[in-house]
């Protein structure tokens, strides 16, 4: 069946399916029960599945992740909602020192199928700590897998795949795109979770993005097409592990690559991608891999976020610089 869903509603439906499919799936988080979450992603789930499976937790993120570890050891599949990206840091100890390492420490005797849902990124006019892009911290932590969805189809399937996956998955949701709609075929065979996807073919420059920046990259490609420039847009989808084969294939054709993310550029995911593209496609490159991202500043007050966040113009500016090189 195909229905038009927002990203938020697709996540809600995906969570519902995952809970129907596996009685061990337990949702935990602040305000996710009666309220349905501050973004309403879990709306109606506590009513239908009960308080034992959709748990309004005490206000303590380390507690959410720490008890998720114990529940996972007991055979449950905890899905933790972190209310906003900036509030994941009180839980960072549990995520980095425990969730990420328990499988390795136990030499595989203990699985850690924990999903950590985080609405991430800016653009909603919020106060501080509500617009962070923490993906590099978690991507830099061996033992974790990190994915970022950009559209309702991936939201619907991705959340189910992440929950079914045996390893811990940091599941990044583009909060400013929660209300974006698209048709979702709930009978389709989904793409694998840990795979990049070429969204738009092009010959001149390869543009890489994930999460909220995918829409920006597509808009840039549209605008570039009006000027006779053909951009290939790749949605990375998985950030750890990276799936760069489609990127290498693309860059070998275009010879140029621009990576876009909201997170600060320095020591970020774009640097890792640039290094790998350079190592693998060195002889095909016509220009250095360029990065477009946030400045190396704390996320600014909302009156400045439009100037902080990469937009269509900044992507096109990088495309121009790549082509002029």
Q: Is 130 annotated in the active site?
A: yes
Residue 34 in the binding site for another protein (CB under 8 A): yes
Write the CB contacts of 185 (distance below 8 Å, at least 6 apart in sequence): 1, 2, 153
Candidates 3-11, 81-89, 218-226, 249-257; binding stretch for another protein (CB under 8 A) = 81-89
Candidates 7-15, 56-64, 151-159, 216-224; binding stretch for another protein (CB under 8 A) = 56-64
In the range 211-270, which residues lie near another protein by CB under 8 A? 266
Residue 20 in the binding site for another protein (CB under 8 A): no
Question: Mutual orientation of helices 269-281 and 245-254 as an angle, nearest 10°?
Answer: 60
Residue 58 in the binding site for another protein (CB under 8 A): yes
Residue 128 in the binding site for another protein (CB under 8 A): yes
Residue 275 in the binding site for another protein (CB under 8 A): no
Question: Binding string to another protein for residues 178 to 197, with x set by CB under 8 A, is what?
Answer: --------------------
Among candidate residues 103, 130, 165, 261, the one labeled active-site is 130
Residue 129 in the binding site for another protein (CB under 8 A): yes
Q: Distances from the Cα of 57 to the Cαs of 23, 67, 81, 207, in angstroms?
A: 19, 10, 10, 40
Q: Distances from the Cα of 261 to the Cαs of 90, 135, 184, 309, in angstroms?
A: 24, 10, 26, 9
Number of residues that bind another protein (CB under 8 A): 42
Helix and strand numbers, DSSP H then E, in the chain: 12, 14
Residue 300 in the binding site for another protein (CB under 8 A): yes
What is the number of other CB atoms lying within 10 angstroms of the CB of residue 324? 7
Question: Binding string to another protein for residues 135 to 174, with x set by CB under 8 A, is what?
Answer: ----------------------------------------
Structure letter (DSSP) for residue 191: P
Nearer to another protein among residue 245 and residue 307 (C-beta): 307
CA distance 171 to 79: 10
Which residues make beta-bridge pairs with 28?
A: 55, 80
What is the number of other CB atoms lying within 10 angstroms of the CB of residue 160? 23
Residue 74 in the binding site for another protein (CB under 8 A): no
CA distance 55 to 168: 19
Residues that bind another protein (CB under 8 A): 30-31, 33-36, 38, 51-52, 56-60, 62-63, 86-87, 89-90, 125-130, 266, 295-298, 300-305, 307-308, 313-314, 317
What is the set of active-site residues? 130
């Amino acid at each position: 069946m195909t229905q038009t869903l927002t990203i938020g509603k697709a996540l809600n439906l995906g969570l519902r399916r995952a809970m129907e499919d596996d009685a061990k799936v337990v949702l935990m988080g602040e305000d996710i029960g009666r309220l349905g979450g501050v973004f309403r992603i879990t709306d109606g789930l506590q009513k239908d599945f009960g308080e034992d499976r959709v748990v309004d937790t005490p206000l303590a993120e380390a507690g959410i992740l720490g008890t998720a570890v114990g529940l996972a050891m007991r055979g449950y599949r905890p899905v933790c909602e972190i209310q906003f990206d900036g509030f994941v840091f009180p839980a960072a100890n549990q995520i980095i020192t425990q969730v990420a390492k328990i499988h390795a420490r136990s030499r595989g005797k203990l699985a850690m199928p924990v999903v950590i849902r985080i609405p991430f990124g800016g653009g909603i006019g919020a106060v501080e700590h509500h617009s962070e892009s923490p993906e590099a911290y978690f991507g830099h932590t061996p033992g974790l897998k990190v994915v970022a969805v950009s559209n309702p189809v991936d939201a619907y399937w991705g959340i189910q795949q992440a929950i079914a996956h045996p390893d811990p998955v940091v599941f990044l949701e583009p909060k400013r795109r929660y209300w974006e709609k698209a048709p979702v075929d709930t009978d389709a065979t989904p793409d694998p979770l840990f795979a990049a996807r070429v969204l738009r073919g092009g010959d001149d420059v390869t543009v890489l993005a994930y999460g909220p920046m995918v829409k920006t990259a597509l808009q840039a490609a549209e605008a570039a097409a009006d000027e006779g420039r053909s951009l290939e847009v790749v949605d990375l989808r998985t950030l750890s592990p990276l799936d760069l084969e489609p990127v290498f294939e693309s860059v070998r054709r275009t010879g140029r690559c621009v990576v876009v993310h909201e997170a600060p550029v320095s020591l970020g995911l774009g640097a890792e991608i640039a290094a790998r593209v350079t190592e693998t496609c060195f002889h095909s490159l016509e220009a250095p891999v360029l990065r477009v991202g946030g400045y190396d500043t704390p996320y600014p007050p909302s009156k400045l976020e439009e100037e902080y966040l990469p937009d269509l113009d900044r992507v096109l500016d990088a495309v121009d610089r790549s082509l002029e090189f």
